[in-house]
Structure 1
């Protein structure tokens, strides 16, 4: 089981290296402008909206779901 687990972990790491490393080895093509990026207002709004939905779901869950501990135990 240990050998199978280690083989799985090594395989996952190898696949990630296979995706990341070759993309960094290829040099930038001549004539291309250097990358510069700044998000647009739509991208900012989408990001803030997604975070807001996450906070809303958390708040609704905290208000509507029973978050009291189950009976039993010594924590009181």
Structure 2
């Protein structure tokens, strides 16, 4: 009663046309894109880590220049 005679008509079985099977080339391109994105993220993390390390080094150099060596007993010639 809900759909009437339309429910009795034959209809296609299986997946709709919207879902397409991917060829090997398409799958390979998708994998390459994912791999490229992963490499870009890794590069960004590495650059950030390098920047942080350089900043730490600069801070230590400036503090050493301002406050001198930590052990005042020995002087350098």
Pairwise TM-score range, normalised by the shorter structure: 0.3 to 0.5
Compare CA radii of gyration and give the structure with the larger one.
2
The alignment's TM-score, normalised by the length of structure 1, stands at: 0.38
